[in-house]
């Protein structure tokens, strides 16, 4: 039996245990470039943006173990391997945390900004930009900067495209996946375009590293470029990490672009299902706004002229979201128009017929609706609601909600019925019909949302009360946290918002 010292047995056992536990790191080691063990064992810097990054701040200031020859002969082989394994674990942790943060981004712009920040930490740069140029039909082209103002990006665009590394990458063969381009010293490279060197001096950067955003599956979407303040370039380990991150970012951007295209198509369908223009009826002026949510809800409005100078106004909401809700909304709105023409004088009958149709054709779906029969010459309104929010009357002398009876949504009961309500708007007063998506999008409880809506309608400037469009815009800007700057690129939980205003002369 061999006489093996206890110290040697402990080192060998620790090494075997580490190799058994770190199978994933062995896989990375097989893919890692040969001869870079010193770079992989470089000391780690403090956390960058909350992440314990294993990447040095810059290539020209990072020290490696290979730079200290005195350490090599005295370091045990087991310690070197364990140090290498620790470096791989640190790299995997950093990469995991960065990709997790990128995966949480839900919009294209947020993903591009996160890509720039993470890439800057991985390659040790302070500034950068992303030029996104997806293939035709997959999304618009855009440029986003990190640490660069809009004017700085404009200066970069004055350089001939063929002279820039990102331009050469974007204009390369469309079927190939291009390689990154590093320019370690822009002032010593005599082959560079003079305009590129002039812009670099103006913006204060001396080197750059361009990473293609391209994979075989997603195609070529764009390129990310990071700029160094001094001559430098990322080491092999940094290139490997940012390359892995770039491939993941490309796939994530491809999914977001496809999601944007789907949302845009749904927004177009929703707008086509709503009235293209509002009718002109003597004695009343109309205005409407529809703010679509990212999921494509089923909220709608309608206004149609009726016999003897009457006017029918309707708003409603179909449960669910997506293409099926849009299709149901279109069918419901078309049916209500037909019922309004036949028996519009009786709003209860109109909603009863609509409820029967919904229960027979779509038993798994419910809807809220409000229909108002207006006689502008008499300033008389008769309305009925099915689980819908009450209208709001606003004018110079009053701002109050119309008292309606409590009723269930359509499709919730075996037989829907609720009494109608009659009221008379005064001269110059405006009746606001809206969907509950407006209240829910405020993020407040319902009582506070109603109070916010009431305050917004009461605070309409006197000069704007004669224009229903100005009234609607003022109310939406006041009630919604994001104002009118909302739509398909909003938060995932945002719902459709519909508001219909009728100002009586």
- The answer to whether residues 331 and 258 belong to one domain is no
Helix and strand counts by DSSP (H, E) for the chain: 14, 15
For the stretch 215-253, pLDDT in tens is: 988 889 999 999 999 999 999 999 999 999 999 999 999
The answer on pLDDT for 8 being more than 60 is no
* Same domain? 29 vs 154: yes
Overall average pLDDT of the 416-435 stretch: 92
- The size of the chain, in residues, is 505
**CA dist., res. 364 & res. 374, Å (int):** 32
Do residues 293 and 370 share a domain? yes
Greatest Cα pair distance in the chain? 113
Residue 10, in any domain of the structure: no
CATH number for 316: 3.60.40.10
Instruction: Tell me: do 246 and 329 sit in the same domain.
Output: no
CA distances from residue 125 to 144, 145, 350, 372 in whole angstroms, order as listed: 16, 13, 66, 62
Domain membership of residue 331 (yes or no) is: yes
Is residue 410 left, alpha or beta, with left meaning phi > 0 and alpha meaning psi from -120 to 50?
beta
pTM over 0.85: no
| pLDDT number for residue 172 | 81
Sheet holding 310-321, edge to edge: 297-306, 310-321, 367-375, 380-386, 421-423
How many whole angstroms separate alpha carbon 374 and alpha carbon 502?
10
Q: Closest Cα partner for 41 from 101, 107, 89, 110?
A: 89
Is the CB of residue 297 less than 8 Å from the CB of residue 276?
A: no
The residue to which tokens 């149709």 are assigned: 357
Confidence (pLDDT) at 364: 84
Q: Report which of 277, 356, 355, 286 is spatially closest to residue 503, judged by C-alpha positions.
A: 286
Which of 262, 294, 309 is a domain's end point?
Answer: 262
The verdict on residue 96 lying in a domain is yes
Instruction: Classify residue 16: in a domain, yes or no.
Output: no
Q: What percent of the chain has pLDDT over 90?
A: 56
- The answer on 231 and 122 residing in a single domain is yes
Take residue 455 and report the two structure tokens written for it. Answer: 């305050």
Residues 54-75, mean pLDDT to the nearest whole number? 43
Range of the domain at 304: 275-504
Q: For residue 23, what is the enclosing H or E element?
A: helix 23-31
Question: Measured between alpha carbons, how far is 469 from 9 in angstroms, rounded to an integer?
Answer: 84
**Residue 37, φ and ψ in degrees, nearest 5:** -65, -30
| C-alpha–C-alpha distance, residues 461 and 479, integer Å | 15
Structural domain ending residue among the three candidates 212, 232, 262: 262
Question: Does residue 268 fall inside a structural domain?
Answer: no
Residue 382 in any domain: the answer is: yes
Q: Would you give the distance in Å from CA 104 to the centre of its chain?
A: 10
- Shared domain check, 182 and 115: yes
Task: Tell whether the model's pLDDT for residue 440 goes beyond 80.
Answer: yes
For residues 336 and 312, the answer to whether their CB atoms sit within 8 Å is no
Q: Supply 125's token pair.
A: 């740069």
Q: Is 11 domain-assigned? A: no
Residue 133 forms part of a structural domain = yes
Is the pLDDT at 19 greater than 80, yes or no? no
Same domain, 98 and 229: yes
Whether 303 and 420 share a structural domain? yes
494/505 Cα distance (integer angstroms): 35
pLDDT of residue 295: 65
Predicted confidence band at 484 (pLDDT cuts at 50, 70, 90)? Answer: low
Decide if pLDDT at 104 tops 90.
Answer: yes
Backbone angles phi, psi at 113, to 5 degrees: -65, -40
DSSP code, position 497: E
Q: Are residues 305 and 404 in the same domain?
A: yes
Is the pLDDT confidence value at 27 over 60?
no
pLDDT, tens digit (0-9, with 9 covering 90-100), for 132-163: 999 887 888 999 999 999 999 999 999 999 99
**For the domain that residue 251 is a member of, what is the CATH number?**
3.30.450.40
pLDDT level of residue 491 (50, 70, 90 thresholds): low
Q: Do 240 and 298 reside in the same domain of the chain?
A: no
| CA gap 408, 10 in Å, rounded | 75
Judge if 246 and 279 occupy the same domain: no
Split into its structural domains, the chain has a count of 2
Please report which residue ranges of 234-363 form alpha helices under DSSP H. 236-273, 323-343, 347-361
| Residues 398 and 284 placed together within one structural domain of the fold | yes
Residue 483: predicted pLDDT: 65
Please identify, among 214, 239, 262, the residue that sits at the C-terminal boundary of a domain.
Answer: 262
Please give the share of the chain, as a percent, with pLDDT higher than 70. 81
């Amino acid at each position: 039996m061999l006489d093996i010292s206890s110290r040697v047995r402990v080192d060998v056992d620790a090494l075997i245990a580490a190799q058994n536990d770190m199978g994933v790191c062995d896989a990375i080691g097989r893919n890692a470039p040969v001869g870079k063990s010193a770079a992989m064992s470089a000391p780690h810097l403090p956390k960058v943006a909350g992440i314990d990054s294993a990447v040095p701040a810059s290539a020209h200031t990072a020290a490696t173990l290979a730079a200290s020859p005195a350490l090599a002969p005295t370091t045990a082989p087991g310690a070197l391997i364990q140090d290498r394994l620790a470096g791989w674990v640190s790299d995997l942790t950093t990469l995991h945390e960065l990709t997790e943060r990128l995966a949480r981004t839900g919009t294209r712009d947020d993903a591009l900004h996160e890509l720039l920040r993470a890439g800057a930490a991985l390659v040790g740069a302070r500034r950068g930009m992303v030029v996104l140029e997806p293939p035709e039909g997959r999304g618009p082209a855009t440029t986003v900067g990190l640490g660069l103002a809009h004017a700085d990006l404009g200066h970069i665009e004055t350089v001939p495209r063929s002279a820039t590394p990102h331009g050469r990458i974007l204009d390369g063969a469309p079927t190939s996946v291009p390689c990154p381009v590093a320019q370690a010293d822009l002032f010593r490279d005599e082959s560079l375009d003079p305009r590129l060197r002039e812009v670099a001096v103006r913006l204060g950067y001396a080197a750059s590293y361009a990473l293609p955003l391209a994979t075989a599956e997603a195609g070529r979407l764009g390129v990310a470029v990071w700029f160094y303040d001094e001559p430098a370039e990322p080491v092999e380990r940094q290139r490997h990490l940012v390359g892995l991150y770039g491939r993941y970012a490309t796939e994530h951007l491809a999914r977001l672009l496809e999601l944007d295209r789907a949302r845009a198509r749904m927004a177009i369908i929703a707008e086509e299902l709503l009235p293209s223009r509002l009718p002109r009826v003597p004695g009343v002026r109309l205005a409407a706004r529809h703010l679509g949510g990212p999921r494509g809800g089923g909220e709608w409005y309608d206004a149609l002229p009726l016999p003897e100078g009457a006017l029918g106004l309707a708003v409603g909401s179909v449960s669910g979201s997506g293409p099926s809700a849009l299709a149901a909304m279109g069918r419901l709105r078309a049916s209500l128009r037909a019922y309004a023409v036949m028996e519009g004088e009786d709003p209860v009958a109109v909603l009863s017929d609509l409820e029967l149709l919904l229960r027979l054709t779509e038993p798994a779906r419910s809807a809220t609706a409000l229909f108002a029969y207006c006689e502008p010459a008499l300033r008389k309104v008769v309305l009925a609601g099915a689980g819908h929010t009450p209208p709001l009357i606003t004018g110079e002398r009053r701002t109050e909600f119309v008292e309606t009876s409590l009723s269930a949504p359509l499709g919730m009961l075996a037989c829907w019925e609720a009494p109608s309500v009659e009221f008379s708007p005064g001269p110059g007063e405006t009746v606001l019909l809206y969907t509950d998506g407006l209240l829910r999008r405020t993020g407040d409880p319902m009582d506070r949302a109603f109070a916010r809506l009431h305050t917004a309608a009461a605070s309409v400037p006197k000069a704007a009360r004669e224009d229903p469009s100005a009234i609607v815009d003022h109310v939406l800007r006041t009630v919604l946290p994001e104002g009118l700057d909302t739509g398909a690129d909003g938060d995932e939980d945002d719902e459709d918002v519909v508001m219909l205003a009728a100002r009586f002369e």
